Amino acid sequence: MPQPSVSYKINSNVASLKPSVTLAMNQQCQRMADNGEQVFRLGFGQSPFPVPALLVQSLREYAAEKSYLPVLGLPALRESICGYIVRTEGLHYSAEHVLVGPGTKELMFLLQSVIEAELLLPSPSWVSYAPQAHVLGRDVVWLQGNLADNLDGIPAAIENHCRNNPNKNRLLILNYPINPTGAAFSESQLQSIAAVARKYKILILSDEIYSGLHFSGEHISIARFYSEGVIISNGLSKWCGAGGWRLGAFVFPVELEPLVKAMSVLATETYSAVASPIQYAAVTAFNQSEEIIIYLADARKILKALMNYAYLRFIQAGMRVCPPQGGFYLFPILESDVVRLVVDDSVALCEKILAETGVAVLPGVAFGRPKEEFSMRVACVDFDGGRALAAVQGVDEVNEDFLRIYCDRTLLGIDCLCEWYEALC
């Protein structure tokens, strides 16, 4: 390796990080596909559905917009986001307390940058929360539990952790429907979490990026029960199929106004503002429209049937898995005594599955599970969402025949994974 011509030292917290396991898997799948190998892409969690045509047309109309917008975001967009929260949650916020950013991921990093707080994460949780905290030198506490009862166990886990040091600043991140399990909190579960959070004055970031993909269409924000302590996070990447548009937003209660100001100041020194055409087009997404309502209803109909098929197939194969309630993820756990005969941990397990079946999945350890637990995240997204949406119009209930035609690659990947495990057993 050539010697550097300048002197520098990489931050040790950054140097110790590994690339995002999600993005790394996606790149590996692309290399295999380029080599002509068959790959079932059940690792990278990108929405299979196209951006709604209404939004695409809106982006065309505003493509010439080139001026820098306010750091908080386009006023009309912030108003439309507040209207969305009123319609979906019955909660009222000021547009002055909405911060628009280049994806919620960036906003999450800004939030952890401006506060000094211990990070509390239910296990399993999305792959990037903990690494962001690590970069900033924050402590991370995993709230462990058996997956079958982990949702009910979260309030007790918080209580057990906080009681010995009740005055410490803490940030709890909740994400639901959950990436990676597909489970969702009930109203009573959210009330219990809110009660213990209020008791210890815990700040909650409620990551609701999959809210529009709750299968019943009845997502409930924890902000209904702890409005003064909850930041709502949402964006276009999952329920609107626009991950590459990179637009997310945080919605704050008036009690957290100092956080809005601190984050917006930091935003002026980092990304300045989200691309103007994207912001103008996003107003259409958050406003009420018949096209978006139909789009979401059809997407949920397809995903519910597909996820239930995968769930039952995993159960039939002898895996442990939570029943899905939204999104497009499942988190099966394989019986340890059988798998330990061939691999030592979840990373080696996923590498072996990819090599022997062409099925790409992500190891449970990346989501905060013990390395020796043979768990994995399966993203049921390897199908042509546009084709499926066109076909589902007028269909009352999606059956397996529909899935075999329009979601065939995902079903084949699920079947290959289950057959591999059944042969191992």
Nearest CA-CA partner of 88 in 239, 191, 204, 194: 239
146 pLDDT band, cuts 50/70/90, is low
Scan for tokens 């590459």, then name that residue.
Answer: 244
Nearest CA-CA partner of 291 in 50, 3, 128: 50
Average pLDDT of the segment spanning 99-116: 97
Select from 3.40.640.10, 3.40.50.300, 3.40.1670.10, 3.40.50.2300 the CATH code of 64-288: 3.40.640.10
97 by Cβ neighbours in 10 Å (0-12 / 13-18 / 19+) ranks as buried
pLDDT above 80 for 369: yes
pLDDT at 27: 77
pTM of the model: 0.94
Average pLDDT of the segment spanning 256-279: 96
Q: Name the H helices within 90-182.
A: 104-114, 129-135, 150-162
Cα 85 to Cα 207: distance, rounded to the nearest angstrom: 14
Decide which of 223 and 18 is more confident: 223
Q: Mind listing the pLDDT tens digit for each residue in 220-244?
A: 999 999 999 999 999 999 999 999 9
Nearest CA-CA partner of 81 in 267, 228, 274, 214: 274
pLDDT above 70 for 148: no
Average pLDDT of the segment spanning 197-211: 98
Average pLDDT of the segment spanning 67-83: 97
30 pLDDT band, cuts 50/70/90, is confident
Share of the chain above pLDDT 70, in %: 96
Select from 3.40.718.10, 1.10.357.10, 3.90.1150.10, 3.50.50.60 the CATH code of 12-50+291-424: 3.90.1150.10
The region of weakest confidence among 17-31, 65-79, 239-253, 395-409 is 17-31
53 by Cβ neighbours in 10 Å (0-12 / 13-18 / 19+) ranks as exposed
DSSP secondary structure letters along 286-300 = HS--HHHHHHHHHHH
Average pLDDT of the segment spanning 281-299: 94
Decide which of 394 and 223 is more confident: 223
Average pLDDT of the segment spanning 294-321: 96
21 by Cβ neighbours in 10 Å (0-12 / 13-18 / 19+) ranks as buried
What is the chain's mean pLDDT, rounded?
Answer: 93
13 pLDDT band, cuts 50/70/90, is confident
Could you tell me the residue ranges of all domains in the chain? 12-50+291-424, 64-288
